Amino acid sequence: MPEKKTKFIVIAGSIMSGLGKGIVSSSIAKLLQSRGYKVVPVKFDGYLNVDCGTMNPFRHGEVFVLDDGTEVDMDFGTYERFLNQSLTGLCSITGGKLFKTVLEKERRGDYLGRDVQIVPHLTDEIKRRVAEAATDADIVLIEIGGTIGDLENGYFVEAMRQQNFEKDNMAFIQLTYVPSLSPGEQKTKPTQHATRLLQSLGIQPDIIVVREQEKLTSESRRKISTYCNVPEEAVFDDPLLQTVYQLPIVLDRQGLYDVLAKKLDLKKKDADLKTWQKKVSQIIKPKEKPLKIAIVGKYTAVKDAYVSVKEALVHSAAALNCGLEIGWIEGSDLESMDNVTPTLAEYDGIVVPGGFGTRGIEGKIRAIEYARKNNVPYLGLCLGLQLMVIEYARNVCGLKEANSKEFDKKTPHPVIDFLPEQQQIAKMGGTLRLGAYDCILKEDTIARRAYGESKVSERHRHRYEVNSEYVKTLEEKGLVISGTHPKNNIVEITEWSKGFGVASQAHVELKSRLESPAPLFVEFLKAARKK
Ligand code: GLN
């Protein structure tokens, strides 16, 4: 039978949140990609925010940014890290975007006097957007955010039910959880109920993936199969793993692709996961002993707030075949200490990631000063560049009160100031300097060596920049400006001329993938290894 055009796979989570749906989706996408298919992941998010830009990382984890500047859910980071592929804003379909479009159409009179409803108007808008995202994809993999039964994602589920009925080109995957009350005592009843709930919405899962505390017993598998209407060979284990990057391999071994292939008429083919497997082995069993890296941040209690930074370190450590131990330090904790040395001395390198607002700023600056004076490799990301410049201005250039206008509106030395285009902006959402911008690298610098090329493009999300009026003073005192934006000379990368310190105005962590780690991170870990 000839292959039909684009196929669709829909993944829905059940029972509870936090089961790792994004990782399961990305792993399945990887299985398809590794067989030569062009896969486009799409995420449905039921919240009424238009995008993630206005969400607090404490509540929602990191805000991820795409090349086109769309601010998206952190699941997009997982998709890109697994697929080694850059996505566009079309892949993010939120409740906010849908309602905005439908209400704007209503105001324009596009609905010609009809009463405007969730079904069919909102559901049609979902199907339209899915088709738009699907252009030139062989397979679109759609992850429904939230849990089945949530009021928020009901219209997404309904739209997919309709599309399945209309086009018959879909496979549904349900992610569930099987708890064990004691070893061997597995409980499948929550899964059975959850599947009934999905069935009551008109959807029969083709595959059930089970997050579990221990491997499913044959009894549990049989029960899930019988009571959920799914063949036993379509029930898969999603066990606890040492690293998330193992999951594609684990699911492939169990034959998940074969079940999908049968349902969607895909070709019979083995996965090419050789390079992937090698990287995974280097994470699990690295040759060299672990490097200890401190991340000095503000949201360190919520590790999801820095997931791309953490993963970029994992990718680079794997590339160097080194182990990795990350220490999370609150910037504000360093502020109250008489001496930061006992806390920081155990680390081989220090990272200051991005951030907004004043809390913990002075503590982060102390960490940077410590790194510079003690020859500890330093990597700064966005805010981490701005603070590297402030520390240098204060302690090397003698501008004692140097600061960013973000933290001190009246500073006599605003070495970090508002980007000119930000002066007039009153709205919060989508108004930062966002997305990919080019950067020209200077010869004989850490950055140039790390990238091995003279022009690169990285992703941004900031309102402030290095004030050009201070560039000369900083350079005269030895701060190296190794990267600038070609058009308006915005400082993009700074370095210390002695020791190893490099910082980027861009969030270079956002483009780090297991198969192509961020060059500045690799260079930073090389320096940490030397130390
Ligand atoms: N708060 C700083 C700015 O707006 C840094 C932002 C960031 O680290 N993403 O410029």
**DSSP secondary structure string for all residues of 210-273:** EEESSPPPHHHHHHHHHHHT--GGGEEEE---SSGGGHHHHHHHTTHHHHHHHHHTPPP-----
Is 404's pLDDT higher than 50? Answer: yes
Alpha-carbon torsion, ordered 485, 380, 312, 458, to 10 deg: -10
What average pLDDT does this structure show over 405-421?
Answer: 93
- Determine the atom of ligand 1 nearest the C-alpha atom of 384: 8
496-526 pLDDT, tens per residue? 999 999 999 999 999 999 999 999 999 999 9
Q: How far is the CA of 410 from the centre of ligand 1 (A)?
A: 19
Are 517 and 315 spatial neighbours (Cβ–Cβ below 8 Å)?
Answer: yes
Q: Ligand 1 atom closest to Cα of 465?
A: 10
Total residue length of the chain? 531
Q: Measured from the CB, is residue 383 less than 6 Å from ligand 1? A: yes
Give exposure, 421-456, as e/b (b: 16+ Cβ within 10 Å). Answer: eeeeeeeeeeebbbbbbebbbeeebbbbebbeeeeb
Rounded Cα distance, 162 and 257, in Å = 25
| Ligand 1 atom at minimum distance from 356 CA | 1
Residue 355 CA to ligand 1 centre (angstroms): 5
Q: Which one has a higher pLDDT value, 192 or 2?
A: 192
Is 288 one of the annotated active-site residues of the chain? no
Give yes or no for a contact between 149 and 182, defined as CB atoms under 8 angstroms apart: no
Cα–Cα distance measured from residue 327 to residue 293, given in angstroms and rounded to the nearest whole number: 6
Count other Cβ atoms within 10 Å, centred on residue 261: 17
The predicted-structure confidence for 212-246, as pLDDT tens digits, reads as follows: 999 999 999 999 999 999 999 999 999 999 999 99
**Rounded to the nearest whole angstrom, what is the distance from the C-alpha of residue 385 to the centroid of ligand 1?**
9
Residue bearing the CA closest to ligand 1, atom 1: 356
Q: With bands split at pLDDT 50, 70 and 90, how would you rate the model's confidence at 59? A: confident
Q: Is 448 in the pocket of ligand 1 (CB under 6 A)?
A: no
Closest Cα to atom 7 of ligand 1? 354
To test ligand 1's pocket by mutation, which of 458, 460, 464, 492 has the most ligand atoms within 8 angstroms of CB?
Answer: 464
| CA of residue 26 to ligand 1 center, whole Å | 29
% of the chain exceeding 70 in pLDDT = 98
- Whether 356 lines ligand 1, by a CB cut-off of 6 Å, is yes
Same fold, 7-277 and 286-530: yes
Place of tokens 């970029």: 312
Please state, in angstroms and as integers, the Cα–Cα distance from residue 118 to each residue in 10, 94, 123, 154, 412, following that order: 20, 14, 6, 10, 55
Residue 2, burial from CB neighbour count under 10 angstroms (0-12, 13-18, 19+): exposed
Determine whether the shortest distance from the Cβ of 461 to ligand 1 is under 6 A.
Answer: yes
109: left (phi over 0), alpha (psi -120 to 50) or beta: left
Interhelix angle for 519-530 vs 307-320, to 10°? 60
Extract the tokens encoding 395: 């302690």
What value does the mean pLDDT take over residues 12-23? 95
Alpha helices in 299-347 (DSSP H): 307-320, 331-335, 341-344
Exactly one of 158, 495, 509, 523 is catalytic; name it.
509
Residue bearing tokens 């684009």: 6
Long-range interactions of 256-262: CB distance < 8 A, separation 24+: 256/28, 256/31, 256/207, 256/209, 257/31, 257/32, 257/35, 259/206, 259/207, 259/233, 259/234, 260/9, 260/28, 260/31, 260/32, 260/171, 260/206, 260/207
Quick check: 214 and 184 in contact, CB under 8 A? yes
* Section 162-171 average pLDDT: 94
At 129, the pLDDT band (50, 70, 90 cuts) reads very high
| Catalytic member of 121, 315, 413, 507 | 507
- pLDDT value at position 1? 43
Residue bearing the CA closest to ligand 1, atom 6: 462
**Cα 353 to ligand 1 centre (Å):** 10
Nearest protein Cα to ligand 1, atom 5: 383
CA 62–ligand 1 middle distance (angstroms): 13
For residue 480, the cross-strand partners are 495
Atom of ligand 1 nearest to the CA of 353: 8
Domain at 286-530: CATH code = 3.40.50.880
Is residue 53 lining ligand 1, measured as CB closer than 6 Å? no
Asked if residue 355 has its Cβ within 6 Å of ligand 1, the reply is: yes
- Could you tell me the residue ranges of all domains in the chain? 7-277, 286-530
Tokens of 130: 């899915």
pLDDT at 388 over 50: yes
Question: Given pLDDT bands bounded at 50, 70 and 90, which one contains residue 426?
Answer: low
Q: For residue 398, what is the DSSP state?
A: -
Closest by Cα among 326, 271, 269 to 294: 326
Share of the chain above pLDDT 90, in %: 91
Q: Tell me the three state secondary structure of residue 117.
A: coil
pLDDT number for residue 422: 73
Place of tokens 């701005």: 386
Ligand 1 atom with the shortest distance to the CA of 461: 9
301 burial (CB, 10 Å; 0-12 / 13-18 / 19+) is exposed
pTM (2 decimals)?
A: 0.95
**Rounded mean pLDDT, 126-155:** 96
Is the CB–ligand 1 distance for residue 407 below 6 Å? no
Q: Whose CA is nearest to atom 8 of ligand 1?
A: 354
In the predicted model, what is the mean pLDDT of the chain?
95
CA of 504 to the centre of ligand 1 (A): 11
Catalytic residue, from 52, 322, 382, 439: name it. Answer: 382
Distance 43 CA to ligand 1 centre (A): 26
Architecture category of domain 7-277 in CATH? 3-Layer(aba) Sandwich (3.40)
Q: Is 507 a catalytic residue?
A: yes
Strands 288-297 and 322-330 come out as: parallel
Alpha helices in 435-530 (DSSP H): 446-451, 471-476, 519-530
CA 161 to each of CA 59, 156, 202: distance values in angstroms, whole numbers, following the listed order:
31, 9, 6
What's the CA gap between 186 and 396, in Å, rounded? 62
Q: Which residues contact 84 (CB under 8 A, 6 or more apart)?
A: 513, 514, 515, 516
Q: What is the pLDDT of residue 2?
A: 42
Distance 445 CA to ligand 1 centre (A): 24
pLDDT given for residue 3 in this prediction: 44
Give yes or no for residue 406 CB within 6 A of ligand 1.
yes
Calculate how far, in angstroms, residue 384's C-alpha sits from the geometric centre of ligand 1: 9
Catalytic status, residue 509? yes
Atom number of ligand 1 nearest to Cα 419 = 10
Q: Do 317 and 324 touch, CB atoms closer than 8 A?
A: yes
